[in-house]
Structure 1
Amino acid sequence: MLIGHDHPLDALTATGVSIWLDDLSRELLAGGRLEALVADRGVVGITTNPTIFASALERGERYTPQLRELAATGTSVEDTVFAITTDDVRAACRVLRPLYDRTDGVDGRVSLEVDPGLAHDAEATIARARELWAAVGEPNLLVKIPATADGLGAITAVIAEGISVNVTLIFSLERYRDVIDAYHTGLETAAFNEYDVSAIHSVASFFVSRVDSAIDARLDTIGTGRAIAAKGKAGIANARLAHEIHAESLASPRWRRLAAAGARPQRPLWASTGVKNPDYPDTMYVSGLAIPGTVNTMPGATLEAFADHGTVPALVLEEIYGPAQDVLGEIAELGIDYREVTDELERQGVQKFAASWDELAGTVRGQLGRGLAEHRSSQR
């Protein structure tokens, strides 16, 4: 059964899913391309990460003038990265500001990540989150903080100060419960300190395709027919069970007290929704998670694939949680340790983003060197 809308993205929006784009660059910001995605593709938010910025700098010549200027003033690599990323995110925030205003702050959001190298340093994460919030200076920013054990305290602290947060790199259901608790604790502190909690927003980014990639590799190693039949099911099942936890949290007395004070729910956000296995349907992580009140942040290729041939099944929440639990139960019976997989994915996620951050810094270092040489040459 499909929702009765002509365009797949219209149908997805009509079912209550916010479409965010997992990409940002000056090429995208130039010439109205982002505005076109808002108008033609229903995009109402943007997420970024170090990999996205590294790729943008390697491809885009629009960064060259700023890099030359920063090189000429002797700006450090770290400060250059900070300037470039906050400038891009500020510009995107301004493009999406009408959406932010129209949706009372729910959408029109742009995410910018704290340096991944700080993922296990709560105090440094808090300090950088404050710096990013102040530097961008737009109310529709979401500061991205990884959901590491050390990150949880930082999430609570910055929420308590009125900073809106995108909690990223969530893989396990247990950690997701911790994330919800961190958000609620931050809101309670904010309310006690007389902040306007209605102005504080958050999403919890639950990663999907990486779970399948990790578990599928183990299923391939097992190699039985039963194991092969279980492939490609864990990512969506894990995310659906995360939504069940979200729904339960909204029914709790603790949340009802916060809601009465004006607090906004922390929406589940489905991240890592580009299909990594070419044997799987390229829109499976969008269709399979078309759940009202959630966000799906898609790479450009996934967005275009869904626009072309995506479908929106009429999911009945009470009917998807049980089968999702059965999927994880089957994986456990096959001898795969769910906790071991999600712990490894978190470690790898932090390492990958840190490596991308280093790559970004390396690209900036090289371009600063070229910019300085060009500046000196022009002064002769």
Structure 2
Amino acid sequence: MAQNEKLAELSEAGVAVWLDDLSRDRIRSGNLQSLVDEHSVVGVTTNPTIFAAAISGSESYDDQLHALAVRKVSVEEALRTITASDVRDACDLLAPVAEMSPGDGRVSLEVAPGLAHDTDATAAEAGHLWWLVDRPNLFIKIPATEAGLPAITETIANGISVNVTLIFSPERYRAVMDAYLSGLEKRVAEGGSLAGIASVASFFVSRVDTEIDKRLDKAGADPSLKGKAGIANAQLAYQAYEEVFSSERWRSLEAQGARPQRPLWASTGVKNPEYSDTMYISELIAPGTVNTMPEKTLMAYADHGAPGAPVQKSYDEAAAVMRSVADAGVDLDDVFRVLEEEGVQKFVDSWDELTESVRTQLEDKA
């Protein structure tokens, strides 16, 4: 089938189109396959909020929930089994994509968000989920918290592909890239192969604007600064990516078969209705990147999206925007700290909501 021209053009510019959503209904109905066939989708990301909406709003999970209930499994085991099942099926659907483009065709599954500040538990959970899904085109999502960084290194060293999530600042992004390279180096030092290992680094965009816009309003700053920081911050992240993945340290690993850790633009659905609904796609076009989109944003770009200037031409302007935001009285370090804390907490809240929903359903179907 013919691909949507606008999304195909985006793909040709080096931006892999991924869907930020997954449900059993989406898989079984053929919707996900149609997005692959007609809208250039080559990957899928999930998070606890996505699964909470999927499981609580569908009857497609009833038979599995009944089987789990009569076996009297724990709520935690039920959650792992249900989410792993959907992710495994999505991995199988995207396997042909992965064969053609090994960095794509990937589906992400997140470690329990309550482990975000526990390095050892995060690494152990990553290993368990990798074993449970048992598909080579899986990504295990690990948050870029301080405790998450050594877990990323350990997980990569164990040969497990990782999607690093909840990155908000270029500084933390540099630490994430270092954790990835350190994991590759450790694996090589231990005699392991780098074949099949892949990684993306999920840099969040719209949430940065939401937080900074609020602070600009409070400071009485120039309104023209609003809606600029999220994109500028991501553009500077790509500049950091270019620096790290052109270094001698990287070249040495690349010669041994390593793949670069691609930047992934996350949180690309526009929160402020006054902004263009495709701005976090149009203004973040660069080779070797991924843009994971909610279906609403994906369809908006398919309908009326248009590419902006390449990211590489925007570094000076992006730096100027971030300086202006700081000069207006916005404490950027505090912004990034708050966003990380809120990001973790939102996923914990969704996970708790999901846990309670599954517990209730297990009791009803026992």
TM-score, length basis structure 1:
0.94
Q: What corresponds to 1:64 in structure 2?
A: 62
Correspondence 1:214 to 2:208: no
Q: Which of residues 228, 231, 237 in structure 1 aligns to 2:232?
A: 237
Correspondence 1:118 to 2:115: yes
Conserved in 1, the CA contact under 8 Å of 2:51 and 2:83?
yes
Q: What is the distance in 1 between the residues matched to 2:195 and 2:127?
A: 19
1:33 is matched by which residue type in structure 2? N
User: 5+ unaligned residues in a row in structure 2: which ranges?
Assistant: none
Q: What corresponds to 1:44 in structure 2?
A: 42
1:277 is matched by which residue type in structure 2? N
Q: What is the distance in 2 between the residues matched to 1:61 and 1:306?
A: 31
Structure 1 residue 31 displacement after superposition: 2.7
1:359 is matched by which residue type in structure 2? E
Q: What is the distance in 2 between the residues matched to 1:137 and 1:198?
A: 16
Alignment of 1:37-186 (within 5 A): 37-103=35-101, 105-186=102-183
Deviations 1:219-254, CA, capped at 9 Å, x for gaps: 111224x2x110000000000000000000011110
Structure 1 residue 316 displacement after superposition: 5.8
Structure 1 residue 312 displacement after superposition: 1.2
Q: What is the distance in 1 between the residues matched to 2:57 and 2:4?
A: 35
Deviations 1:50-74, CA, capped at 9 Å, x for gaps: 0000000111110011001111111
Q: What is the distance in 1 between the residues matched to 2:351 and 2:11?
A: 33
Q: How many equivalent pairs are there?
A: 364
SS in 1 for 2:307: coil
Structure 1 residue 198 displacement after superposition: 3.0
Q: What corresponds to 2:303 in structure 1?
A: 308
Conserved in 1, the CA contact under 8 Å of 2:4 and 2:302?
no
SS in 2 for 1:74: coil
2:242 is matched by which residue type in structure 1? A
Deviations 1:47-102, CA, capped at 9 Å, x for gaps: 00000000001111100110011111111110100000000000000000000011
Conserved in 1, the CA contact under 8 Å of 2:238 and 2:311?
no
Q: Identify which range, 363-372 or 262-271, moves more after superposition.
A: 363-372
Q: Which of residues 331, 335, 353 in structure 2 aligns to 1:337?
A: 331
Q: What is the distance in 2 between the residues matched to 1:233 and 1:97?
A: 38
1:20 is matched by which residue type in structure 2? W
Specify the structure having the higher radius of gyration (Cα). Answer: 1
Percent of aligned positions with the same letter in both sequences?
56
Conserved in 1, the CA contact under 8 Å of 2:235 and 2:311?
no
Q: What is the distance in 2 between the residues matched to 1:369 and 1:119?
A: 29
2:194 is matched by which residue type in structure 1? V
Q: What is the distance in 2 between the residues matched to 1:147 and 1:111?
A: 15
2:339 is matched by which residue type in structure 1? L
Deviations 1:342-361, CA, capped at 9 Å, x for gaps: 01100000000011000110
Runs in 1 of length 4+ with deviation above 4 angstroms? none
Q: What is the distance in 2 between the residues matched to 1:315 and 1:33?
A: 31
1:278 is matched by which residue type in structure 2? P
Conserved in 1, the CA contact under 8 Å of 2:284 and 2:311?
no
Q: Which of residues 264, 268, 275 in structure 1 aligns to 2:270?
A: 275
Structure 1 residue 299 displacement after superposition: 0.4
Q: What is the distance in 1 between the residues matched to 2:311 and 2:237?
A: 15
2:89 is matched by which residue type in structure 1? A
Structure 1 residue 6 displacement after superposition: 7.6
TM-score, length basis structure 2:
0.98
Q: What corresponds to 1:247 in structure 2?
A: 242
Q: What corresponds to 1:265 in structure 2?
A: 260
Structure 1 residue 311 displacement after superposition: 0.5
Deviations 1:249-305, CA, capped at 9 Å, x for gaps: 011110111111111000000000000000000000000101111000000100011
Q: What is the distance in 2 between the residues matched to 1:75 and 1:139?
A: 27
SS in 1 for 2:269: coil
Q: What is the distance in 2 between the residues matched to 1:79 and 1:240?
A: 40
SS in 2 for 1:86: helix
Q: What is the distance in 1 between the residues matched to 2:29 and 2:45?
A: 20
2:319 is matched by which residue type in structure 1? Q
Alignment of 1:184-195 (within 5 A): 184-195=181-192
Q: Which of residues 6, 9, 13 in structure 2 aligns to 1:8?
A: 6
Correspondence 1:360 to 2:357: no
Structure 1 residue 314 displacement after superposition: 4.2
Q: What corresponds to 1:205 in structure 2?
A: 202
SS in 2 for 1:198: coil
Q: Which of residues 314, 317, 328 in structure 2 aligns to 1:320?
A: 314
Q: What is the distance in 2 between the residues matched to 1:315 and 1:144?
A: 28
